[in-house]
């Protein structure tokens, strides 16, 4: 249906009417999945799958909605995650022990696997560790998944807090690890070489 409507358009410019249709369709799809007991995120995802792949439309949607999402919705999401995170539940020594085990397992599993895979493909140890540090970071996507699982009742509040702390710690470790490896100046050197050329 969406492809048929897109073919009827005589221009690839995304009009305000089409933008309204896309946003309303996304919200209705999210509401439909929520009504049947599935997280609204999956409904919005399905709505995105149904729309035609027109690169210019994608760029214009990002341009027109980026301000709303980054200035309004993203801070609200982080505030919601912060309100759900109860650091007071990490009070006992057993809880901190499990938090440490989860953190070590997360770093070892993701970073260690990336380092070994990079070395297996012929990268130097320094580049392998840099890649591992970059892949070890967990950010917005993991927080979204954690919130979806928490809303569905998969996690207890304590486990949710442990996993959020793990996501924050592994994300904060990225820049210090890259600085220790001496990778911080690579991005600055490339423009300098381009200007010299």
Please give the chain's pLDDT, 197 residues, in tens: 555 555 655 555 667 777 788 888 889 999 999 899 888 888 888 888 888 777 777 777 878 888 888 888 888 888 888 898 998 888 888 899 999 999 999 999 989 999 999 999 998 888 899 989 888 888 788 888 888 888 888 889 999 999 999 998 998 888 888 888 888 655 555 554 445 44
SS3 at position 139: coil
Phi-psi region of 156 (alpha: psi -120 to 50; beta: other; left: phi over 0): beta
Q: What is the pLDDT of residue 196?
A: 46
In a domain, 72, yes or no: no
Task: Indicate whether 127 and 48 sit together in one domain.
Answer: no
- State the pLDDT at residue 67: 80
Question: Is 195 contained in some domain?
Answer: no
In terms of domains, do 57 and 127 share one? no
Tell me whether residue 146 is exposed, middle or buried, using C-beta atoms within 10 angstroms of its C-beta: 0 to 12, 13 to 18, 19 or more.
buried
**Domain total of the chain:** 2
Residues 126 and 160 in one domain: yes
The reply to whether 190 falls in a domain is no
Q: How far apart are CA 20 and CA 35, in angstroms?
A: 22
Residue 97 shares a structural domain with residue 160? yes
Domain that holds residue 139: 87-185
């Amino acid at each position: 249906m969406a492809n048929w409507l897109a073919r009827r358009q005589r221009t690839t410019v995304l009009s305000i009417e089409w933008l309204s249709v896309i946003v309303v369709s996304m919200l209705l799809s999210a509401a439909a999945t929520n009504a049947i007991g599935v997280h609204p995120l999956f409904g919005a995802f399905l709505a995105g799958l149904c729309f035609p792949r027109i690169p210019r439309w994608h760029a214009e949607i990002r341009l027109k909605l980026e301000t709303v999402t980054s200035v309004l919705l993203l801070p609200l999401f982080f505030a919601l995650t912060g309100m759900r995170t109860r650091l007071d539940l990490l009070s006992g020594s057993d809880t901190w022990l499990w938090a440490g085990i989860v953190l070590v397992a997360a770093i070892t599993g993701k970073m260690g696997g990336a380092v070994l895979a990079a070395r297996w493909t012929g990268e130097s140890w320094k580049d392998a560790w840099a890649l591992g540090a970059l892949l070890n970071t967990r950010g917005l996507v993991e927080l979204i998944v954690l919130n979806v699982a928490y809303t569905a009742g998969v996690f207890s509040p304590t486990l949710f807090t442990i996993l959020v702390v793990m996501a924050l710690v592994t994300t904060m470790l990225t820049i210090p690890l890259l600085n220790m490896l001496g990778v911080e100046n690579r991005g600055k050197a490339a423009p300098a070489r381009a200007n010299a050329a």
